[in-house]
Structures are given as C-alpha cells and as structure tokens.
Amino acid sequence: MKRNQLGNSILEVSEIALGCMSLPNNENEARIIVDSALDGGINYFDTADLYGKGKNEEIVGNAIGERRNEIILATKVGNEWRHDSDEVQWNPSKSYIKSQVHQSLKRLDTDWIDLYQLHGGMITDSSEETIDAFESLKKEGLIREYGISSIRPNVINRYLANSDIASVMMQYSLLDRRPEEFLDKIGDAGRSVVTRGTFAKGLLTTEGLERLKNNDGYMDYNADELEKVLTELMKIEDNLNALAIHSVLQHNTVASVVAGASSAAQIQQTVAAYHTEISTDQIAAAKKLTKQSNYTQHRD
C-alpha cells in the first residue's frame, strides 16, 4: 500500500488508516483486526480519548502490543468527560491538554504519540494557548506531530496561519464534497487532509441501497435523491467502496482515508477496494452526479 508524507511532517502514513472507534471491546477480536490491518499494509491507526471514556485507547494499546514500532499512532484531545455524568465539555486549555496526554499515553501503553489532534475547535478558543501546549509536548518528546480534526473553515484557517499542524481531519466523501473548496489551500500550505466519513455511513458501499431503506437522507440529499444518485453511481462502478475511496484520494492533498472496522473481514474488504482500479473518467463521472456543496457556517 502506498504511503504519503503527512504534510511537511516526518510521518509517512498508509493511504488507508484504521479508524479504531469501531473496534470491539473483546481484546482478542480487536487484536485480530489490528493484525489484519497491518498485514494489509496499513500503518496508520486513529483513535481518541473521547471514545468510550478512554476505553478505546486501552483496547488499541492492548491490540497493538509488540507491533508498536510498525504503527503511526494518532489520538485526539479536547473533549473532557464530566466525572459525575456522561456529559462532555469542550476544554482546549494548555493545562488540560498537557495533563490528558499522560492519560492517553498510559491507556495506549506507549511512550509517545505520533499524531496528537485537537478534537474540534471553535473560533472563540484561545488557539495560542492550545498551539503552545502542542509545541511543548513536541519539545518534551511526548508527541511527534500534531493536527486538528475540524470542519470549521475559520478554525482551519487560523491553524494553517498560526501553527505547525501536519494535518486536518475532515469529513469528505462523494456525498459530502464541501472540503474540495479548501483542498488546494491546505495543500499549498504544506499540510495534508485525512478523511473520515468517506463511506457516508455505509451508503457508499456495496450495501448502500440496502442501508438507504432505513435512511431519510444524508447531508444535502433527501431519500429520493439518494436512491437516484446511488443507483447511478452503481452503474459507473458496482464496487462503491472502491469508487468512494479513490474519489477522495484523487486529490494529492488527501494523505489517507480513515476507515472503521468491527471485524477483520471489513478491513480486508476496504483494503481490497483500495486495490481495485478506478479510472479518472469514472471519478469525473461520479462527481458530475453528486452535489458540490460549500460550508455555510463558521466562515468568519
């Protein structure tokens, strides 16, 4: 599997990443999925301290085991669980980030995090304080690089201008093409995009039409529009998994597609789709069928 440099950083990531949020809680089952991903050429694993109140990080740490040096390990910070409830409060402060990294390191059973990401962000945040926290952690050797996970243009622009982020994680798929407005700008700034939601909640898979039966719509598409566009996309390429992956990887700003898996079969299916040849003509035809929407909020 091809690997790409993540922005101007020292990290090289596989074009498919394993999104670990869907890993089962059973340690043996999780390890089978992790091993299957590694054996398929995936070296990039993404989790967050938010998932399961940190439980997912523990599962990932246990599943990786002795294969840690084979992996680019990414996690996220900024969502603080309340001790007395299941509510989450946003906390991008330096003190919280610098304390929470030690909790993530412990749960992941590692001495360092390859990519530490701000899990959100608002224009009202003190971004200088947040950036200072990440820079301090780099100097301490606890993280190698940092990035943000955000779909807010004003937040993204602020971090492109004022920080050394390596990457921006964004929801991006054939059914949500809003990031295309900013891909050139992000790439020209020497940063990469990492995508999530590329299968659009399973709609852009071989099971898409079946999943549509329990779906009233998605993004800017109502149910009738979805049925029509999915049917037409299937005429272009019946392996919608492959069409979905290659349609976002076509832009050289996109370094990796984060794909979740709850079984070894699922990650193997994703790897097989990645290796399925999709032409530029097919991608162009697919984009003619889908909407080119733009972000309407958080622009100033």
Neighbours of 127 (CB within 10 A): 20
Respond yes or no: is residue 172 known to be catalytic: no
State the catalytic residue, choosing from 51, 172, 221, 274: 51
Phi, psi for residue 70 in degrees, rounded to 5? -90, -5
Beta-carbon contacts of residue 86 (< 8 Å; ≥ 6 apart) = none
Distance between CA atoms of 193 and 55, rounded to whole angstroms? 27
Residues annotated catalytic, as ranges? 51
